[in-house]
Every structure is written in C-alpha cells, then in structure tokens.
A = this chain, B = another copy of it.
C-alpha cells in the first residue's frame, strides 16, 4: 500500500456538531480534543512520518469572544496532551498579537521532542496564509538580501489532506505545502471522528497517482 508520509488534518464541524447535539456552538471544540489524540495514535501505528493539524487562523479570531476562547483552549489542551506521547512537536503561527497563547510559545522556536520522539506533529496556531507567504511590502536596507522563505518552511510538502465536516475547500491551509496534495473530505463532523474515516482516506489515497505535474 502506498502510504502518505505527511497528512494534513482540517478538523472542521465542531460548531455544527454542537448545535446538532443541543449544545451551544463554543461547546463543540472540547469534543474535538480526543478525536485528535485518537487520530494521532492511528498515524503513529501506521508509521505516518508527519501530521499537521489545522488549529485556528488569524481569520478565525474574528469570531465571537466566547468561541475564540473555547477554540484557543481546545488547541492548547490538544498540544499539551501530545507532550505525554512519543512525538516531536512544532507550532507554526503569528506569535506577535496578544491573542497568541503563551503556553505554546516554546514550541514555535524549534521542534520539541517528547518521549522517544518519532512522528512529527505540527499545529497551526493563529496561522495566516498571507502571513506565511510574506505578502507585504518590506523595507530593505542597503545591500542586504531579503530571505523570502515561507514562515512555515519547516513544514514539508503534504501528501494527503483530510477534512472533516463536508466542506470542499482548503480555507487557507498551507497554500504552498498543499499545491499537490490529494484532498479527501469526510462528511461527518470532526467530533464524530471514527477510525474508519482515517482508513477510508488511506484506502482512497492508495488509488491516486502521483505526478507532481509531470
């Protein structure tokens, strides 16, 4: 079986799940924490080399404060849960605004190894595609070379992106690393994650060819 080395995860549908379970929207996020751990363990078992979780974006922070607080809390807890596992964690996002959770700052400096290390896990936290791509005019002093690398240059090309919640769009998820990614959509909401979703995605991926435009 041709397995993806790097899987991107868009864990969408927390709010819709909450509403359909008679909860208020912001209560959905905490139900998205365990699915993340469950999925991590499956990836570990299947020898996936790298996973990137779409935490939240700069655009997401425009949501009502009660929701914003809830998804930031769920993201922080998700990262902390993984520090008890064998993995290597990197957090990528714009740390400049005061909404960036301080607990996660150490993970933005360099990849941090936990336990025996092994699988690389990236979390996009307060991530923005425009921020990532350096899309702004920059002042440049005399004779200096500007490094126009991606902010996310430590995150490798993604082979397979799995999105829960039925939407067929990337929502700004790593535009460069995803240029040739195969994109699999699960109609279930993220809190209803099942192991089978993951295996269905791997099975589908196995049937895709890889041409990289050639």
Query: Is there a chain B Cβ closer than 8 Å to A53's Cβ?
Result: no
- Find the B residue at minimum CB distance from A129: B179
Nearest 6 A/B pairs, CB to CB: A59-B213, A175-B175, A140-B140, A142-B142, A172-B179, A168-B183
Residues of B within 8 A of A146 (CB): 137-138, 140, 146
Give the B-binding residues of A (Cβ under 8 A): 57, 59-60, 62-63, 129-130, 133-150, 167-172, 175-176, 178-184, 208, 212-214
Our pick among B149, B171, B213 for the contact of A57 (Cβ within 8 Å) is B213
Copies of this chain assembled into the complex:
2
Q: Is the CB of B134 within 8 A of A145?
A: no
What is the distance, in angstroms, from A182's C-beta to the closest C-beta of chain B?
5
Q: Is the CB of A133 within 8 A of B213?
A: no
Given the complex of chains A and B, what is the CA–CA distance between A63 and B212 in angstroms? 11
Given the complex of chains A and B, what is the CA–CA distance between A214 and B171 in angstroms? 10
Q: Is the CB of B140 within 8 A of A144?
A: yes
Interface of A is mostly: loop
Residues of B within 8 A of A142 (CB): 141-143
Q: Is the CB of B171 within 8 A of A183?
A: no
What is the distance, in angstroms, from A125's C-beta to the closest C-beta of chain B?
14
Residues of B within 8 A of A175 (CB): 175-176, 178-179
Residues of B within 8 A of A147 (CB): 137
Given the complex of chains A and B, what is the CA–CA distance between A130 and B135 in angstroms? 13
Given the complex of chains A and B, what is the CA–CA distance between A106 and B147 in angstroms? 33
Our pick among B59, B129, B138, B180 for the contact of A148 (Cβ within 8 Å) is B138
Given the complex of chains A and B, what is the CA–CA distance between A59 and B212 in angstroms? 7
With a 10 A CB-CB cut-off, give which of A134, A176, A213 has the most chain B CB atoms.
A213
17 residue pairs from A and B, CB less than 8 Å apart: A57-B213, A62-B214, A133-B176, A137-B148, A138-B145, A138-B148, A140-B146, A146-B146, A167-B208, A168-B183, A169-B181, A169-B183, A171-B179, A171-B180, A175-B175, A175-B179, A183-B183
